Amino acid sequence: MRILFFGDVVGRSGREAVIGHMPLLREKLDPDLTVVNGENSAGGYGVTVKIAEEFFAAGIDVVTLGNHTWDQKDLVSTIEQQPRIVRPLNYPEGTPGRGFVLLQTRGNRKVLVVNVLLRLFMEPMDDPFAAVDRVLKAHRLGPGAVDAILIDMHGEATSEKMIMGHFCDGRASLVVGTHSHVPTADHMVLPKGTAYQTDAGMCGDYDSAIGMKKEIALAKMVRKLPTERLSPAEGEGTVCGCYVETDDRTGLALRIEPLRLGGRLSQTVPERGQ
């Protein structure tokens, strides 16, 4: 299988970059599963069902979230309408929505997409490791079970993300980090066959402060002035993410490559395997 993952989409710039580049990426990579983290896509704060449906119309299969899940208050009452919007798994019991989705791709193959919030330097949450472990025990990777499993781990600390990668090694196809909005250079296949990257980076304008207008952030941090609310930068966006190919016999990864397209960063677009 071919899996395409996009990191945090920030504001209109990020949305336009992802949606605008989708035709090229679909033609070039022909992904079986495409996932985007959309938790900053609505003006930098959360997502709406309407924005999620724009992603789906462009060919995205699943939208994952993170610590800004409930910034758009209407999502509390509307998230149940769209099962392909996946909020973090380890919210307390009774929270609206779902922490994973099981869906079918081409050829009737099953894929599982999981979203989890990590805890170091983040708001207190239920144990992410126990939550992920329960899902992976209930949905095993491999023949006759689930053909591919993707885990979006939304967290701040690189150490915690790496531990989650090793915790899931051999049980998931891809474990990829979001939240820091900076792409890391550690994409690799772990020893037991799980593709891993600490952070996929953001989709948005990199002439910014992690996607937000740099002038506002400068005034806030350098001069300690009261400022308006941070808002997304509006220049040309860079699409950042990763591309994974899996072994159909096991569901484990054969390779992982970074994706950076458009905007200011150095460009790299994977080649599809034969």
- Catalytically annotated residues: 68
Task: Flag whether 40 is marked binding.
Answer: yes
Task: Flag whether 181 is marked binding.
Answer: yes
Task: Flag whether 108 is marked binding.
Answer: no
Task: Flag whether 90 is marked binding.
Answer: no
The first and second tokens of residue 101, run together, are 């989705």
Task: Flag whether 248 is marked binding.
Answer: no
Residue carrying structure tokens 């992410």: 128
The first and second tokens of residue 132, run together, are 């992920």
Task: Flag whether 67 is marked binding.
Answer: yes
Mark out the alpha helices in the chain (DSSP H runs).
11-29, 49-57, 75-78, 128-138, 158-168, 214-222
Task: Flag whether 21 is marked binding.
Answer: no
Residues making up the annotated binding site are: 8, 39-40, 67, 154, 179, 181
Residues making up the annotated binding site for Fe cation are: 8, 39-40, 67, 154, 179, 181
